Amino acid sequence: MLSKNDTEAVRRARVRQLFESFQNSDRSETGVLKFYYWLQDHYPHLLPPAHVGDAYLQLKVDLSGLYK
């Protein structure tokens, strides 16, 4: 069974993979926002848990280095 840290690492890796293949080639904060809404519609389970805080801000941390 995966630990909580392992599960989080797998989630983060999948989110980064999806962002890199996201059909919107905009690698800016606007692109991250569009990706966030797309995730909400298609893969809401990949967004950070509500108890972590602001899911959008956490997503930006998850995608660090992939956008400008």
| 68 domain residue, yes or no | no
Q: What is the mean pLDDT of residues 24-51?
A: 89
Q: How many domains does the chain have?
A: 1
Length of the chain: 68
| Long-range contacts of residues 24-33, Cβ cutoff 8 Å, at least 24 apart | 27/66, 27/67, 27/68, 28/67, 28/68, 29/60, 29/67, 31/67, 32/59, 32/60, 32/63, 32/67
Q: What is the mean pLDDT of residues 32-44?
A: 95
| 48 domain residue, yes or no | yes
Q: How far apart are CA 3 and CA 35, in angstroms?
A: 27
| 34 domain residue, yes or no | yes
pTM of the predicted model as reported, rounded to 2 decimal places: 0.86
| 31 domain residue, yes or no | yes
Residue 57's domain spans which residues?
Answer: 4-62
Residue-level pLDDT at 43: 96
| 67 domain residue, yes or no | no
Task: Kindly give the interhelix angle for 29-42 and 55-62, rounded to the nearest 10 degrees.
Answer: 110
